[in-house]
Structure 1
Amino acid sequence: MSRPSASRRTAVVWEVLRGALDQRVKSGGTDVLDVLDTGGGTGNFAVPVAELGHRVTVVDPSPNALFGLERRAAEAGVEDRVRGVQGDAHGLFDVVERGGYDVVLCHGVLEYVDDPAAALGNVVAALRPGTGTLSLLAAGLGGAVFGRALAGHFTEARRALTGPDGRWGGSDPMPRRFTPERLTELVDATGLNVTAVHGVRVFADLIPGALVETEPDAERALVELESAASELPAFQAVASQLHVLAEARYHGG
């Protein structure tokens, strides 16, 4: 069973997500979960989740991404467990069932939507009533500030740090970034209980790829370093991405 591609950048998220899926199986009394991946694109997480034996529905606005998803699922032999539908978080229940999923992934979505709170509310409403797990991944403010500063773009770093959306200028491709506090506030407002916060890509975006590729065991060591730093608030504050895991506060009703 494969883990998501670009492992040095996704290893922390995958290990946390896989553990959450295993825990949901144990607590739910079923071996097969219904998983919704909003903004799941070509299936970077959806296909590995399906390889664990779960049923995955991917919602994405891009027909090209969904075509790539179909091809990737077929290559992995899980096309019978992966379904792709065109849509977005704001119109989610035009294409999927409200309250129909054990686990919902919302990765790389809140940065781009007009109203993050409303979009996240829809995503959470897709969980089965009173139960379920949310995996939320979004762009972190601190990583962008450090990245611009280390590249010598100090004015842009300051703009990102002080701007309302964490953007460093008009050419910034990211519409919005979050602090750990802001992201957990959004989750708390949905009624879910935040159980874990992890910093993602704390070091991976700052270290030259050539260094990792030429040094023996550097890839493994970097992944281990990312994992060790991910749970520490000091490093979450400077991570390129933030991952929040949350659970329903009340179970069974």
Structure 2
Amino acid sequence: MSDSSPGLGVAFDRAADDWLAWQQTPWARVYYALVRHVLAALPEVPGRSLNVLDVGGANGVDSLPLLVAGHRVTVLDFSPVLLAEAVAAAERAGADGDRLRVEHRDVGDPRPLPLPADATGWDLVLCHNVLHYRDDPAELVGRLVAVTRPGGALSLIAPNPAMDVLAAAIRDGDPRQGLEMLEAPTRRSVTIGEPMHRLERASVEAAVRDAGAVVTDRFGLRTVIDLVTDDELKRDPEWLRQTTELELALCSRAPYRDIARFWQLICRRPD
């Protein structure tokens, strides 16, 4: 989740405790349940052991379930604090540590992204919640496609600008802010306090096509829970279970996926 700016890397290290605490909130748990659902449904995931690259993967929260499932995972991130937590989390989960590699690297590093030791490309590349910190997200998309093996999959996630407007007006009760959000090019991250580009899914889809890959699936993550104002209700286990079930049903359906808190693209590099 890091960018080429040293200040951003420092911000992530400084906010590491807040970031890890956020991962335990009900809304984060819904998000991770949806990500696991989408990735587990990829046709190659239940089959042979995959080489997985998690770019800007922080503490590996999105890729460690794949490690536990028997795949080989490399987590690349700017933050040594969060990479150390990825290793500790894998140990707590009882995963095979030999299948996990962490690499302390800025995604803006001009060197090519790493390749698996025994292959010319990755079977699955994750780049979740990174692109909106980049001044040139299309450049990073091109590099991600380049290290995905022919026939391999690439998963991209970023916050959806449509939900910025709805959440401001409905959840926060501030329609004026919602109106301002309609044209705002950036917003500030609540967790780390850094600016983020408001990145439309369509512009990233264009970058994927320009890089020679194909978008095969579109998902929306968290359509309902981000519009609920009652945080205590969100912590009710039965309400959360039912809401997660609803979110799972909505995540692949238009128009619900188009207004969710995050958009997710599954892309393929043609054989």
Q: For residues 24-103 of structure 1, what are the structure 2 equivalents within 5 Å?
A: 24=44, 31-78=48-95, 79-91=97-109, 93=111, 96-97=114-115, 99-103=120-124
Contact persistence 2:127–2:157 (CA under 8 A)? yes
Q: Indicate the SS of the match to 1:217.
A: helix
User: What amino acid does structure 1 have at the position aligned with 2:165?
Assistant: V
Contact persistence 1:50–1:82 (CA under 8 A)? yes
User: What amino acid does structure 1 have at the position aligned with 2:250?
Assistant: A
Deviation of 1:10 after TM superposition, in Å, equals 2.2
- C-alpha distance after superposition, 1:12-64 (max 9, x if no partner): 221111111xx1257xxx62110000011111022111011000000000010
In structure 2, C-alpha distance between the alignment counterparts of 1:172 and 1:83, rounded to whole Å: 29
Pair 1:241–1:143, CA change in 2 (3 A): same
Deviation of 1:135 after TM superposition, in Å, equals 0.8
Q: Indicate the SS of the match to 1:194.
A: strand
In structure 1, C-alpha distance between the alignment counterparts of 2:218 and 2:63, rounded to whole Å: 21
Q: 1:11 aligns with which of 26, 33, 39?
A: 33
What residue ranges of structure 1 are gaps of 5+ in the alignment?
none
Pair 1:209–1:80, CA change in 2 (3 A): farther
- C-alpha distance after superposition, 1:72-93 (max 9, x if no partner): 1111222221111011323274
Deviation of 1:234 after TM superposition, in Å, equals 1.9
In structure 2, C-alpha distance between the alignment counterparts of 1:86 and 1:92, rounded to whole Å: 14
Q: Counterpart in 2 of 1:118?
A: 139
Q: Does residue 221 of the first structure (1) align with residue 242 of the second (2)?
A: yes
Q: Counterpart in 2 of 1:167?
A: 187
Q: For residues 134-173 of structure 1, what are the structure 2 equivalents within 5 Å?
A: 134-150=154-170, 151-163=172-184, 165-167=185-187, 173=194
- Aligned residue pairs: how many? 238
Contact persistence 1:111–1:174 (CA under 8 A)? no
Q: Indicate the SS of the match to 1:233.
A: coil
Deviation of 1:246 after TM superposition, in Å, equals 0.9
Contact persistence 1:159–1:166 (CA under 8 A)? no
In structure 1, C-alpha distance between the alignment counterparts of 2:252 and 2:45, rounded to whole Å: 24
Pair 1:107–1:65, CA change in 2 (3 A): same
Identity %: 32
In structure 2, C-alpha distance between the alignment counterparts of 1:54 and 1:218, rounded to whole Å: 33
User: What amino acid does structure 2 have at the position aligned with 1:190?
Assistant: A
Q: Counterpart in 2 of 1:127?
A: 148
Contact persistence 1:144–1:157 (CA under 8 A)? yes
- C-alpha distance after superposition, 1:203-241 (max 9, x if no partner): 122223311333x62122101111222223322332111
Q: Indicate the SS of the match to 1:58.
A: strand
Q: Counterpart in 2 of 1:212?
A: 234
User: What amino acid does structure 1 have at the position aligned with 2:197?
Assistant: R
Contact persistence 1:139–1:176 (CA under 8 A)? no
In structure 2, C-alpha distance between the alignment counterparts of 1:202 and 1:124, rounded to whole Å: 28
Q: Counterpart in 2 of 1:184?
A: 205
Length-normalised TM-score, structure 1: 0.85
RMSD (Å), alpha carbons = 2.4
What residue ranges of structure 2 are gaps of 5+ in the alignment?
1-22
Q: Indicate the SS of the match to 2:256.
A: helix
